[in-house]
Chains A and B, each alone.
Chain A
Amino acid sequence: MAFWRRNTHVEKERRVKANARDHNDRFAYADNHIKTSKYNILTFLPINLFEQFQRVANAYFLVLLILQLIPEISSLSWFTTIVPLVLVLVITAVKDATDDYFRHKSDQQVNNRQSQVLIRGSLQNEKWMNIRVGDIIKLENNQFVAADILLLSSSEPYGLCYIETAELDGETNLKVRQASTVTSDLGDLSKLMDFDGEVMLVTLRNASRGFLSFSVFMLVKVCGLASAVNLHLFMPCPSGEVICEPPNNKLDKFTGTLYWRDNKYPLDNEKVLLRGCVLRNTEWCFGMVIFAGLQTKLMQNCGRTKFKRTSIDKLMNTLVLWIFALLVCMGVILAIGNTVWENLIGQSFQDFLPWNVYQRNAVFSGFLTFWSYVIILNTVVPISLYVSMEVLRLGHSYFINWDGKMYHRRTDTAAEARTTTLSEELGQVEFVFSDKTGTLTQNIMVFSKCSINGQTYGDVYDEFDQKVEITEKTPCVDFSFNPLCDRKFKFYDVSLMEAIKLEDPVVQEFFRLLALCHTVMPEEKSEGHLVYQAQSPDEGALVTAARNFGFVFRSRTPETITLCEMGRSVTYRLLAILDFNNVRKRMSVIVRDPQGHIKLYSKGADTIIFDRLDPSDEDLMYTTSEHLSEFAGEGLRTLALAYKDLDEDYFEVWMKKLLFASTVIENREDQLAVLYEEIEQGLKLLGATAIEDKLQEGVPETIARLNLADIKIWVLTGDKLETAMNIGYSCNLLRDDMNEVFVISGYTVLEVQQQLRNAKERILGLSRVTSAAGDVGKTDVLADDSVFEETLIAEYALVINGHSLAHALEPQLERTLLDLACLCKTVICCRVTPMQKAQVVELVKSHKRAITLAIGDGANDVSMIRTAHIGVGISGQEGMQAVLASDYSFAQFRFLQRLLLVHGRWSYFRMCNFLCYFIYKNFAFTLVHFWYGFFCGFSAQTVYDQWFITLFNIVYTSLPVLAMGLFDQDVDDQYSLRYPSLYKPGQQNLLFNKRQFFLYTLQGMGTSFLLFFIPYGAFSLLVKEDGSHFSDQQTFAVTIATSLVIVVSVQIGLDTHYWTAVNHLFVWGSLAAYFAILFAMQSDGLFYIFPRHFPFVGTARNCLSEKSVWLIILLTAVVCVVPGVAVSFLRIDLFPTLTDKVRHLQQSRKKQGPQAQNLRRVRRTSSRRSAYAFSHQQGYGELITSGKNMRTSTVSPAHSPDGTPHGSSWMDNMLKRRNEVSCVSEEKSIRAPESANRHTQPPQLDVESV
């Protein structure tokens, strides 16, 4: 990767002259051509081979190959190593080549993007790759920035421009960049030419035509050289020059100086747009390229793709080292044996077998033998293992891609495994970190119910007054009378419509309030096609509801609000907005209606509103309060609405006070708050609204299942505490039957520390009471929390807000936080930044030896998705950033259960079985040579035919184990989901660990022992049926090889739980292939062609036609397999695991046929919580009354002349708010429910029938 970036000379500073290619070319800065591909056709082979041999395994086999070329050492023919090695290399190379092909394609696509470059005074379209440092380029809205550019000017006032930096840091919020004041008015080409330093050679004739001539003329004029216009112009201009830091990868820093017109201007990061950003909300901007292509900060930052490795990979690496150590041990033992043997026997055997020239003494012979045995025994280090694992993972990924049950019809999105290296780790996840908005919830607020004047609306009743469940089929209210209605809005209770039609004044007032009291910005793109931009989706939902019920909010100016009330256009004068904030928890507007009445409309949290009601409303308050409880119990977000008629004189006085207060400098906020408080008294209650924050489908069930699988779910959300908790309750993360929910919300380190400690002590204290029954001594042994963790029966939850989290994540507190969090069933972190999300994940990842999974949908989740072991992106939603950063993606949160409990579990199960068997097989195969060493003078003579050694792993035994690794299922998917506890062995690493490794190594050794010694016993006296001698090496080899192939085939048969046709084909096929190849290799024909390479001619025929050989093979197979069967039978019979039980159940069910399903219900909670549906920050009120944000609704890019001195500060404010609300795109913010599938029925684990 780093080849091309290594510059020969180190750039100390960068000097760029604007639009002076000739000048800039001298420095040989990188152009804007990027190359992420690694190879081209010529370099592919050498580079790819070089890379492949950097891998330890491949290098090891290369060394072996070289060793084999030394005749004194070579104990195997060259082909036994080279065939598998070449196979492995070819497979990897093909994969690399395909990957690189796609990189080439995407490079090409990016390089060929069009961009407008100022060349010779006019804008010309250029491909990205042709852009050079110093070029001046024009960017338009929603375009990607082509290179790192210095912002010169933009369509916005003050040279402001907005960018989205999601590609760089994962934040979707808009950031503002401002051009230097001296360049910010270079808004058109003519002025830009002024900045342009291009040395021009233009003919006058040319200059007399068209636009170009104009600019040249301008240029000439500006340069003061108009008189010099002759036939040719040749004029160096005082052009801008930038001197700045050399390319680096710091995204948030830039230092440089702009030299222009003999002045110096400082440049910083605020004036630079980086490649990868997207221009937003800015019509156009001009910039000068400073860093291009590979020298851009984005590219400097990339390349170090973090290659995620699974824990099994890491374990395997350790184990391979162990195997290697074992190999060396065996080599040493045999080498010593060889030395001894040569001394005792070999020396005197020289009559028949003289020592050769290299064999000066027995010790040297031993040394050579060591290497020979390293070569022979190399098959214990499984070369094909890594490739096979890749193949398995690839297969598992395909199964994820193909899973029809993870396909989401509405968005037409199938699940996608974007990486193929992690599949088995999906079976080991212990922590799930989830985003809330868009992941757990749909981020759709739906006006679902309301209570008006003591009457609830929203439920549908049948003729028997029974509440009807609302489904897709329930007929909804017909809003066709209203031409301005939002067609996506659905409401099912007809009675509310009737009340409107009856012109019930309270109902009308109710919706009028909803239409007036908000800070939504309307946009009427075409007549009657209204789009609302709301600060929060809640507000949007309310205004949309009012709109559909005939109170259409149509437009607003700073002073007026125009409604279309039941078809009549009514304009209210907006007198004041008493904005929302977190303390007030309410907002009000004061309006004057056309009749001249002044009214105050207020909406807010129920408790707050109720405190300010007129005493006469008490009865209504109680009724409404009951309704609110009901709504809250259903997980709806509620708001209370009230109004008040204002007296003209009173208002005049109050308004004056307000105006005064808003001009004071000190304590302005407090004074305003007092004034607001004063007027918001004695309100008349209208009713309450209930908004449903729609959960994604199946979220509570999924969470319940994952909980049962001992997966801890942490919700990390940018939402405020109340919203997060509310969602926590509605999706079963928080429950009323939990012992305690700790809320950590401190503002200082000490506060947070105290709260964390208190919470922890409470948990430990309680469990101490419950668990340590009277044992005084034991209570002191609390040091190890992890022990305690398991003894906890009680359930706790922890809710922590962003402030506290910032403190809690400091080094001195993070341990405490983690300990506490791990004691809790549920952890919810609210108001967290993307960075904090990553920190939390990192915290768990680094301190707990657990696999973490992060799931999210937005760019703010990118950091966490990248940090976690496994990142999952929700696709089919807004941006693709999360998906692009993720390892797996699918459309709905509920697919997570299938991904983990079914695919993850299977992958883990398959991979573990595969590894165990692979290790067993290799040991059984190879160690026969070790035993044989003791009977062949430790001479490194192989037992098997060389061809058998070559083909054993890649032909005779590879496919059955691959088939098992791909298709095996201990328990089918439905049972996997029905019994989530089946997932636990993966988390505890039970199926493949060092112990398992030892067991299987031992089994392999045992098998090899039997494989050798049973034929050994028989062969010492074996005679053919025709009396000819038979105990020769080749017969011995064929017998053992055949036994081995049969034994490992039987063993794979026993290890396979799920015999599909493919398994049958592969197992029987492999056996058949073995015999076919055996006879083919030992046929006369091959021998005649290559007599030296096929010396086994005829052995198979002579050997396998003997009954005694088959008796030996049968005996060996039975003896090798029976102990294993007995042990596993005993284990299943005496200590069955859950898997065994479920398998048993599954089988007995299958025999009995489908049965009545037993439903297990998850208890639905309902508790009173006040959840007010409001956005999270200071409202837009100030902006609306000042009219400053009205620009957003106008399309004209013209400079807004109202750039007041404090302009940039409100701009900042607005930006802050805007990203909070994320209502940039209109269809997101106000989207009526697409499906009427409400979560009113108690969620249950629906169990499909078998």
Chain B
Amino acid sequence: MMATSYSAKDEDGHITVSGPGAGTLRSKKPENTAFKQQRLPAWQPILTAGTVLPAFFIIGLIFIPIGIGLYVTSNNIKEFEIDYTGVDMSSPCFNCSQNYSWNSTRPCTCTIPFYLETPYESNVFMYYGLSNFYQNHRRYVKSRDDSQLNGDVGSLQKPSKECEPYAYHENRPVAPCGAIANSMFNDTLELFYNNPNGTKLQIPLTSTGIAWWTDKHVKFRNPGNDPNLTAAFQGTTKPVNWRRPVYELDSDPENNGFINEDFIVWMRTAALPTFRKLYRIIQKKNSMVPTLPRGNYTLEVVYNYPVRRFEGRKRVILSTISWMGGKNPFLGIAYMTVGSVCFLLGVVLLIIHHKYGNRNNSADISN
């Protein structure tokens, strides 16, 4: 058991140890630097009552006002939500939701009246919301070809394998390929203001400016430099579920093809199964008149998008926004809660510290 760990060097046995007189040899004395001697100047914080308790109070004092501010702001935001899935027999869209088929040529339309109790000042944002829709499923998320969407001609003709089974249809490449594109939301929503005088006034909806600038200008590009999109998408076929090819999504060339904003919005997959996406913006016309005055409105839906099979829901949301975005009571409440808890914790700790704490805890060090 002795002569284990043998290395040839050990055999030497006598490594010369330079004696004290070996002045020519460099001394083996380690350098006396703060780093090597582990004496680097350092800040050594300690958790003491003097630092922790004020921190708690400060957090409390900062968080509570923020929370209140957020909560108030959020409450001031006006939001109106209509579920038009058509689950109930009474729902105007019930019929449409029942007789649904992807291939039906005749669009099913339903009309939903609603009443806005308060006028909506400034710009109003119109969202569609889907529930129980798993846009975040792994197979769904990866089923796209960013290269193709970025206008790469090669990828247009030869979509990525990730797009399967929506990469090719009838031996022609699908543009845009993949499950996300294929399942694009295709209900058409129109909003009418019912004038008290009986006329029905269509509210103009802006369909541009709803996507991120980076998406529209960087991430999504139409293939080729050909302004004629029909030619650019030559040789491809539309996604199976689509009624129109991608180059006919909009008449505006700046909003057509891959850079169609509805399409871009859809392609930005949601994080959670319940989500809303911006559909249209109702621009404020002038400062005198509210964008959406109080009154009766009608929502006209061209019901194309089937969600009943997986118990999904479809909603339309009208909302104003504030400095912090849309209506979001969660953050305000969370801030107020956390702030109060911190403050309370500070109080409790203070009491504990005063009653039982070891303020003078270095006195009784014993060995």
Q: Name A's B-contacting residues (CB within 8 A).
A: 34, 36, 71, 75, 102-103, 106-107, 109-110, 144, 166-170, 251, 276, 278, 298-299, 301-306, 345-346, 348-349, 351-354, 356, 372, 399, 401-405, 407, 409-414, 708, 838, 862-863, 866, 875-876, 879-881, 884-885, 906, 935-937, 939-941, 967, 969, 973, 979-981, 1014, 1016-1037, 1057-1063, 1084, 1087-1088, 1091-1092, 1095, 1097-1098, 1101-1102, 1106-1108, 1111-1112, 1115, 1118-1119, 1122, 1125-1126, 1128-1130, 1132-1134, 1136, 1138, 1140-1148
- In contact, B152 and A1091 (Cβ under 8 angstroms): yes
A1031 to B265, CA, bound (A): 11
- In contact, A1058 and B31 (Cβ under 8 angstroms): no
- In contact, A935 and B47 (Cβ under 8 angstroms): no
Question: Is B297 interfacial (CB-CB < 8 Å)?
Answer: no
Q: Out of A170, A1020, A1102, which one reaches B2, CB within 8 Å?
A: A170
- In contact, A303 and B6 (Cβ under 8 angstroms): yes
Question: Is B134 interfacial (CB-CB < 8 Å)?
Answer: yes
Q: Out of A348, A981, A1140, which one reaches B367, CB within 8 Å?
A: A981
Give B276's nearest chain A residue, CB to CB.
A1029
Q: Which 4 A-B residue pairs are closest in the complex by CB-CB distance? A: A1098-B214, A1023-B326, A302-B6, A1036-B271
> Can you list 22 residue pairs at the A/B interface with Cβ under 8 Å?
A166-B13, A167-B10, A276-B3, A349-B309, A352-B133, A353-B143, A863-B2, A880-B13, A939-B137, A980-B367, A1018-B334, A1023-B125, A1023-B325, A1027-B125, A1028-B278, A1029-B278, A1035-B271, A1091-B146, A1095-B219, A1111-B66, A1118-B59, A1144-B361
A302 to B9, CA, bound (A): 13
- In contact, B36 and A399 (Cβ under 8 angstroms): yes
Give B277's nearest chain A residue, CB to CB.
A1029
- In contact, B8 and A1129 (Cβ under 8 angstroms): no
- In contact, B212 and A1102 (Cβ under 8 angstroms): yes
Question: Is B136 interfacial (CB-CB < 8 Å)?
Answer: yes
- In contact, B165 and A354 (Cβ under 8 angstroms): yes
Contact segment of B16-24, B103-111, B169-177: B16-24
Question: Is B254 interfacial (CB-CB < 8 Å)?
Answer: no
Given contacts A109-B8, A884-B13, A1098-B218, 13 further A-B contacts (CB under 8 A): A106-B9, A109-B9, A169-B3, A301-B2, A304-B4, A345-B311, A354-B179, A939-B138, A1023-B321, A1027-B326, A1087-B218, A1118-B338, A1144-B48
Give A1090's nearest chain B residue, CB to CB.
B147
Q: With both chains docked as a complex, state the minimum distance between the C-beta of A77 and any C-beta of chain B, in angstroms.
A: 10
B-side interface mostly: loop
- In contact, B5 and A306 (Cβ under 8 angstroms): yes
Given contacts A1134-B358, A1141-B364, contact A353 B278 (CB under 8 A): no
A407 to B210, CA, bound (A): 71
A1147 to B277, CA, bound (A): 56
- In contact, A941 and B20 (Cβ under 8 angstroms): no
Question: Is B226 interfacial (CB-CB < 8 Å)?
Answer: no
Residues from chain B with Cβ under 8 Å of A1148 in the complex: 362
- In contact, A1059 and B42 (Cβ under 8 angstroms): yes
Contact segment of B89-97, B195-203, B227-235, B349-357: B349-357
Question: Is B141 interfacial (CB-CB < 8 Å)?
Answer: yes
A-side interface mostly: helix
Q: With both chains docked as a complex, state the minimum distance between the C-beta of B258 and any C-beta of chain A, in angstroms.
A: 12
Question: Is B127 interfacial (CB-CB < 8 Å)?
Answer: yes
- In contact, A967 and B40 (Cβ under 8 angstroms): yes
- In contact, A1101 and B214 (Cβ under 8 angstroms): yes
Given contacts A170-B2, A1033-B269, contact A1122 B345 (CB under 8 A): yes
- In contact, B134 and A937 (Cβ under 8 angstroms): yes
Question: Is B132 interfacial (CB-CB < 8 Å)?
Answer: yes
Given contacts A352-B140, A939-B138, A1132-B47, contact A407 B29 (CB under 8 A): yes
Q: With both chains docked as a complex, state the minimum distance between the C-beta of B218 and any C-beta of chain A, in angstroms.
A: 5
Given contacts A352-B140, A939-B139, A1027-B321, contact A402 B338 (CB under 8 A): no
Q: With both chains docked as a complex, state the minimum distance between the C-beta of A706 and any C-beta of chain B, in angstroms.
A: 13
Q: Out of B40, B323, B353, B364, which one reaches A1025, CB within 8 Å?
A: B323
Give B345's nearest chain A residue, CB to CB.
A1126
Q: Out of B52, B137, B321, which one reaches A941, CB within 8 Å?
A: B137
Interface string of B234-271 (1 = CB under 8 A from A): 00000000000000000000000000000001001111
Given contacts A349-B134, A1028-B211, contact A404 B30 (CB under 8 A): yes
A409 to B32, CA, bound (A): 14
- In contact, A410 and B20 (Cβ under 8 angstroms): yes
Residues from chain B with Cβ under 8 Å of A1062 in the complex: 40
Residues from chain A with Cβ under 8 Å of B274 in the complex: 1020
- In contact, B29 and A412 (Cβ under 8 angstroms): yes
- In contact, A1108 and B328 (Cβ under 8 angstroms): yes
Given contacts A1029-B277, A1062-B40, contact A1144 B46 (CB under 8 A): yes
A1128 to B209, CA, bound (A): 50
- In contact, B325 and A940 (Cβ under 8 angstroms): no
A806 to B51, CA, bound (A): 61
Residues from chain B with Cβ under 8 Å of A1098 in the complex: 212-215, 218-219
A1207 to B359, CA, bound (A): 80
Q: With both chains docked as a complex, state the minimum distance between the C-beta of B268 and any C-beta of chain A, in angstroms.
A: 4
Give B274's nearest chain A residue, CB to CB.
A1020
Question: Is B225 interfacial (CB-CB < 8 Å)?
Answer: no
Given contacts A348-B310, A1097-B218, A1115-B335, contact A167 B7 (CB under 8 A): no
- In contact, A1060 and B41 (Cβ under 8 angstroms): yes
Question: Is B365 interfacial (CB-CB < 8 Å)?
Answer: yes
- In contact, A1092 and B146 (Cβ under 8 angstroms): yes
- In contact, B215 and A1141 (Cβ under 8 angstroms): no
Question: Is B86 interfacial (CB-CB < 8 Å)?
Answer: no
- In contact, A1097 and B214 (Cβ under 8 angstroms): yes
Given contacts A410-B20, A1087-B218, contact A1125 B52 (CB under 8 A): yes
Given contacts A110-B8, A936-B138, contact A302 B3 (CB under 8 A): yes
- In contact, B218 and A1147 (Cβ under 8 angstroms): no
Query: Restricting to B76-131, which residues have a CB under 8 Å from any CB of A?
Result: 102, 123, 125, 127
- In contact, B309 and A348 (Cβ under 8 angstroms): yes
Question: Is B304 interfacial (CB-CB < 8 Å)?
Answer: no
- In contact, B43 and A1059 (Cβ under 8 angstroms): yes
Given contacts A414-B29, A1031-B276, A1034-B268, contact A875 B17 (CB under 8 A): yes
A967 to B277, CA, bound (A): 50
- In contact, A1022 and B47 (Cβ under 8 angstroms): no
Residues from chain A with Cβ under 8 Å of B63 in the complex: 1118
- In contact, B44 and A1126 (Cβ under 8 angstroms): no
Give B364's nearest chain A residue, CB to CB.
A1141
Query: Restricting to B329-351, which residues have a CB under 8 Å from any CB of A?
Result: 329-331, 334-335, 338, 342, 345, 349
Residues from chain A with Cβ under 8 Å of B146 in the complex: 1087, 1091-1092, 1095
Residues from chain B with Cβ under 8 Å of A352 in the complex: 133, 140, 179, 182-183
- In contact, B362 and A1141 (Cβ under 8 angstroms): yes
- In contact, B3 and A167 (Cβ under 8 angstroms): yes
- In contact, A1134 and B356 (Cβ under 8 angstroms): yes
A1141 to B349, CA, bound (A): 19
A853 to B278, CA, bound (A): 70
Give B17's nearest chain A residue, CB to CB.
A876
Residues from chain A with Cβ under 8 Å of B36 in the complex: 399, 402-404
Q: Out of A1092, A1111, A1128, which one reaches B70, CB within 8 Å?
A: A1111
Given contacts A413-B17, A1020-B274, A1059-B45, contact A345 B134 (CB under 8 A): yes
- In contact, B136 and A1016 (Cβ under 8 angstroms): no
Q: Out of A103, A301, A404, which one reaches B4, CB within 8 Å?
A: A301
Residues from chain A with Cβ under 8 Å of B323 in the complex: 1025, 1107
Residues from chain B with Cβ under 8 Å of A348 in the complex: 309-311
Residues from chain A with Cβ under 8 Å of B335 in the complex: 1111, 1115
Residues from chain A with Cβ under 8 Å of B30 in the complex: 401-404, 407, 414
- In contact, A36 and B8 (Cβ under 8 angstroms): yes
A1101 to B327, CA, bound (A): 22
Residues from chain A with Cβ under 8 Å of B164 in the complex: 356
- In contact, B6 and A36 (Cβ under 8 angstroms): yes
- In contact, A936 and B134 (Cβ under 8 angstroms): yes
Q: With both chains docked as a complex, state the minimum distance between the C-beta of A921 and any C-beta of chain B, in angstroms.
A: 20
Question: Is B275 interfacial (CB-CB < 8 Å)?
Answer: yes
